[in-house]
Amino acid sequence: MFRVGFFIGLLALIGILASGLVAYRVYEQEVMIDRSALAREIDAHANLVQERLSERELLARVFAGAFRISNANSADALQPLRSSLYSFKTDFVVTGWIARLAPPEFAMAQAELKKAGAQNPQIRRFDDAALDPAADPATGTQDVVMDVEPRNPQTMEFLGRALNQSPRIGSLLADAAKSGQPVSSDPLRLLPAADTLGLVLIAPVLRDDGKSVFGFITTSYRLSTLMLANDEFSLFGVALKDPRPEGGELVADDKGDVVTIPARPEGERAAIRKLSFGGRIWTLDYYAKVDTAARAQNLAIITAVIGAAITSVICALFGYVAYNNVRLSSEIEARIGFERRLTAVIDELNHRVKNILAVIQSIVTRTLRHGTDVDTARDLLIGRIHAMANVVTLLSDSQWQGVKLKGLFEARSIPHADRIAVDGPDITISARAAQSLSLLFFELASHSDEGLSLVGKHPHVVAHWTVTGEAKDAVFYFRWEEFNTSVATRRPDTDFGIVLLDRVAPEALGGTSKRYFTDVSYVYELTAPMITVIDENELSRTERISGVSGRV
């Protein structure tokens, strides 16, 4: 009996020690896994928010740089930018043009507002109080709202208001004019009749001397879309700490609207992330929705109780520990692999966005260089950006698996598409080739002669391509021919167009090009190996990234 009791006691002691060890191990690993997962999700969320903020600030700079001083006092000054505002899909609420007007310019501005259908074309203060330079000789230069997008009964009320003395916007206009950089506001109510909390980004538009300001482009955004509020299945909640109301904080409710709630204790905060936007630092607080330590502790207690009660199955407990360790190790490895795949997806997205923005920057810089006719440059700039937006839309629809070549000849992407006879196999080309060829086709179509055409049903422009050879020796040949044109009648190619036709497009495809006039037509020819037009390496890499994105 003594030996049996000793053995049973030994088994009980081993079971208690094993249970305690297992409980501690489970607690430690669960806490580590949960905290690691929470930290990774917080970092990923903060990076996405920063990218979204940086994208909107960059767009504000681009729009301010593309704005022309000739439109300063017009009540339709945003017209050249309206299509671009919606093409970039930045979920803005209201975009406005604020012109800096001297008192002698009030009469002309009021006439413009009246012609635009403003509800009250009178130049007045932000609170609708009268602003009469004749009655008040001290009236100085005023920052007046001259145009808004979208135009509706709510936004049209803003036209004609001078915002210099506005308690929320006035000081920001002064800061933006002084710094020459975009400035963001504190969270505020965007529209008087709506309970929408957001912020306003003010971008100054400089004169040609690069020093003085002649107006501002303002864009307002909902705070909820900028904060990227998480759904109910997220591990954390996010709140805006700075700037925030006195004694409170801004969080997204169940409907996705940002509301003010009392500030929570410092101990509940999981992490803090600082972001830059509009010339200032924004601080986001992250709160864990689940107490990971308490959950891990409860799990450890349950494990210890079960282990202590079932001392007769110590071997089974050892098996459970081994199985549990293997499971936890596999989960850690799976999560590490997931993080690596997610990082690859984010790096790929950053690479594509940077490439697109670099192309847009090059288009804007070369199109708006000094000495260019403003109207012509504006039309070319908008058309080139539309061509880029169209090809990005086509690539997005195909998850960047390439696009059909004939899709680049749609009427929404190039001018005079109805006069172009397209002939050739409908091959699928890579993303890089699609971006180069879309700009190439737009450049050719935008300079085609509009005044002449063939008699009858014969086409005016013929776009023809063929693929010869097989496998790695296959060659892509493209020919563009405009009939009934000559050196004297065809509009000359721009500097940007010449660089694109003769160097950029051929080099991007690893081929050669030439352009010349015949007796009756203008011809452009491009020859490139099919291995670069299709780019199997890029397609297979994009397919792998797309597969990871689908699983994410």
Q: What is the pLDDT of residues 402-453, one digit of tens each?
A: 788 888 887 666 777 778 889 999 888 887 888 888 888 888 887 765 544 4
Residue that terminates a domain, selected from 291, 313, 329: 291
33 domain residue, yes or no: no
Residue 41 pLDDT more than 80?
Answer: yes
Question: Do 385 and 461 belong together in one domain?
Answer: yes
Question: Do 264 and 393 belong together in one domain?
Answer: no
The DSSP-derived string for 388-402 is HHHHHHHHHHTTTS-
The DSSP-derived string for 341-375 is HHHHHHHHHHHHHHHHHHHHHHHHHHHT-TT--HH
Q: pLDDT digit string (tens) for 201-219?
A: 999 998 877 778 889 999 9
Distance CA 75, CA 117 (A): 9
Q: How far is CA 33 from the centre of its chain?
A: 32
Which stretch of 51-65, 166-180, 432-446 has the lowest confidence by average pLDDT? 432-446
Predicted confidence at residue 456, as pLDDT, reads 40
Residue 547 pLDDT more than 70?
Answer: no
Left, alpha or beta for 166 (phi > 0: left; psi -120 to 50: alpha)? Answer: beta
Distance CA 545, CA 271 (A): 30
Residue 514 pLDDT more than 80?
Answer: yes
Average pLDDT over residues 19-39: 78
Q: How far is CA 327 from CA 30, 294, 305, in A?
A: 12, 21, 21
Which stretch of 155-164, 318-327, 457-466 has the lowest confidence by average pLDDT? 318-327
Question: Do 135 and 222 belong together in one domain?
Answer: yes
Total domains, the chain: 2
Query: 213 with 177: CB under 8 angstroms?
Result: yes
Residue that terminates a domain, selected from 246, 270, 291: 291
Predicted confidence at residue 216, as pLDDT, reads 93
Contacts for 465 with CB less than 8 Å, ≥ 6 apart = 405, 423, 424, 425, 476, 477, 478, 479
Predicted confidence at residue 317, as pLDDT, reads 45
Phi, psi of 474 (to 5 degrees): -65, 140
Is residue 278 helix, strand or coil?
coil
Question: Do 92 and 236 belong together in one domain?
Answer: yes
The domain spanning residue 408 has which CATH number?
A: 3.30.565
The domain spanning residue 253 has which CATH number?
A: 3.30.450.350
Phi, psi of 198 (to 5 degrees): -160, -160
Q: Which of the four pLDDT bands, split at 50, 70 and 90, describes residue 464? A: very high
Predicted confidence at residue 480, as pLDDT, reads 92
Hey, what amino acid is at 179?
Answer: S
Which stretch of 275-289, 390-404, 458-472, 495-509 has the lowest confidence by average pLDDT? 390-404
- pTM for this prediction: 0.50
């998850």: which residue's tokens? Answer: 399
Predicted confidence at residue 454, as pLDDT, reads 43
Residue 290 C-beta-side C-alpha neighbours within 13 Å: 16
Residue that terminates a domain, selected from 240, 268, 291: 291
User: Is the pLDDT higher at 509 or at 12?
Assistant: 509
User: Is the pLDDT higher at 363 or at 503?
Assistant: 503
Question: Do 360 and 283 belong together in one domain?
Answer: no
Q: How far is CA 79 from CA 37, 43, 513, in A?
A: 47, 39, 37
341 domain residue, yes or no: no
Question: Do 385 and 243 belong together in one domain?
Answer: no
User: Is the pLDDT higher at 125 or at 234?
Assistant: 125
Question: Do 357 and 436 belong together in one domain?
Answer: yes
Distance CA 213, CA 236 (A): 43
Question: Do 231 and 133 belong together in one domain?
Answer: yes
Question: Do 500 and 363 belong together in one domain?
Answer: yes
Question: Do 280 and 420 belong together in one domain?
Answer: no
The pair of three-digit structure tokens given for residue 104, joined into one six-digit string: 């002698």
Range of the domain at 398: 350-539
User: Is the pLDDT higher at 416 or at 60?
Assistant: 60
Indicate the DSSP class of residue 418: G
Continuous H helices in 447-535: 495-499, 505-509, 530-534
> What's the angle, vertex CA 236, arms to CA 231 and CA 240, rounded to 5?
90
Predicted confidence at residue 458, as pLDDT, reads 44
The pair of three-digit structure tokens given for residue 275, joined into one six-digit string: 């972001």
Distance CA 426, CA 481 (A): 19
| Average pLDDT value for the chain | 78
38 domain residue, yes or no: no
User: Of the spans 62-71, 134-143, 457-466, 473-482, which averages the highest pLDDT?
Assistant: 473-482
333 domain residue, yes or no: no
304 domain residue, yes or no: no
272 domain residue, yes or no: yes
31 domain residue, yes or no: no
Query: 139 with 131: CB under 8 angstroms?
Result: yes
Question: Do 84 and 221 belong together in one domain?
Answer: yes
Question: Do 227 and 364 belong together in one domain?
Answer: no
Q: pLDDT digit string (tens) for 344-392?
A: 556 655 656 666 666 666 666 656 564 566 666 676 677 777 777 777 7
Predicted confidence at residue 297, as pLDDT, reads 76
154 domain residue, yes or no: yes
Query: 295 with 34: CB under 8 angstroms?
Result: yes
Residue 460 burial class via C-beta count within 10 angstroms: exposed 0-12, middle 13-18, buried 19 and up = buried
